Amino acid sequence: MRTVRAWFDDTAGGLPATFWYLWSGLLINRVGAFAMLFLPLYLTEVRQVGPALTGLAVGAYGIGGVAGVLLGGVLTDRWGRRRTLVWSHLSASALMAGMAVATNVSTIALLAALVGVAHSMPSPAFVAAIVDVVPAARRSRAFNLQFWAFNLGTAGASALAGLLAEASYLALFLVDAGATLCTAVIIAWKVPETLSPGHRTTTGPRGGLRTPLTDRVFLAFVGLTFVLAVLTTQTSTVLPLSMRADGLSASAYGLVVALGGALIVAGQLFVPRLIDGRRKHRVLAGATALLAIGYASLALADQLPVYLLAALVWTVGSMLAAPPNAEINAELAPPLLRGRYQAVFYLTFPAAAFVAPTVGGASLQYLGDGHWLAVGAVGLLAVAGHLVTGPPRERRVARIRATRPAGETTPTDDVTRPAGETAPSGLTAAGPDRDRSRSTGRR
């Protein structure tokens, strides 16, 4: 008992009350964040929509996420953290209630796009508020706890959602809307505005996004991260359709997703011990190989135990990929351009949320189990990409470090992924830099 208590005091001690209200809101939000996860099953089972059109409707959510990330970032700095959080959650709650009663497929797709906007908007505000109120020395602890809450909530949501979906899809959407509303109430009631009145967004060098968009080394890494995101997004988009085709229930799908979340909650904090001292591009190549093998094995899956075993393999790959992915992104960004580099990097996740279901739905419909072999082949190409681009990327990082003034903080000291991004599981660091997903991830 003393050991557990000492661990908790060391991990969570000294964090301000505002952080805990934000943390509580995130946890409640995530426990209720399951409706979009089951949207493919809802469309195919209740609305009798084909896989290709279902993929387009679900992909609209990803398109909305792209706009939501950008809009949320602007509002966070210009309108305020608290307002952005409150109104985005209120909007998401109302939109989700609308999806519960919508019957037309076009209307559902439009609402899905708007929900994608509302779900992605809070991400930069959550991170900015935590950075505002938590001292620099304790931010790594705060983000570790936030990452833990995100995945614990996701695991719980997956298990609950399977049961709700069996009973009523209407209840599924309404409970989701209620959880989102609870988060809005907590933030409006207990979280003050943390944005300094003197804050300005015009500081720093000019040039817009030109520098990151012409940085070939960085763009190669972003491209490989996009492939990784497309792989992991299979779980929330194409996988439920594949399991349904094999005659498995919604609760079975919920169990597969819950297994992944439980593994991350239980094991992510131990990952740094496994990969510390190893070259990052090799870790990413190995992690991507596990993802490719895990998803490719679904070509042979037709029973729940096989799906669970495959989920175990790809989840381990996601866990290993998280820390180096976040660290490399931070290392490649020049200190004065970190915001611009982050913006380009994190757009890969909502983009993957659009591409994965849009292409994957059609692929599953016309290729059947061959879809999973194609996914595995794409993953193996990404493995080769990491092995080829890794050494020059690491030489670039070494040059950046060599030119950094003595005493300057490392890039990972203040760069984190937005909390709850529709990101796919496993693409968020669970160490000092935390959180992919991009949450999707949601909220």
In degrees rounded to 5, what are phi and psi of residue 278? -95, 150
Contact 352, 231 (CB under 8 A): no
User: How confident is the model at residue 440, as a pLDDT?
Assistant: 37
What is the rounded CA–CA span in Å between residue 252 and residue 238? 15
CB atoms within 10 A of CB 300: 11
User: How confident is the model at residue 129, as a pLDDT?
Assistant: 80
Ordered structural domains, the chain, with CATH:
16-194+210-404 (1.20.1250.20)
Q: Which pair of tokens denotes residue 199? A: 């804050």
Quote the pTM value. Answer: 0.64
The tens place of each residue's pLDDT in the chain, 443 residues long, gives 444 444 445 445 578 888 899 888 888 877 766 778 778 888 887 887 787 788 888 888 878 887 887 777 677 767 888 998 999 999 999 999 998 888 888 898 899 999 989 988 887 778 778 777 877 566 656 665 666 677 777 767 766 766 776 777 888 888 888 888 999 999 999 999 887 665 544 444 444 457 777 888 989 999 999 999 999 999 888 898 889 888 888 888 888 887 887 788 787 767 767 877 788 899 999 999 999 999 999 999 888 999 999 999 999 998 888 777 766 765 776 655 554 566 677 778 778 877 888 888 888 888 888 999 999 999 999 999 999 999 998 888 888 767 655 444 443 333 333 333 333 333 333 333 333 333 333 44
Is residue 304 classed as helix, strand or coil in its secondary structure?
helix
Rounded alpha-carbon distances, angstroms, from residue 320 to 76, 122, 235, 265 = 31, 26, 17, 13
Contact 331, 412 (CB under 8 A): yes
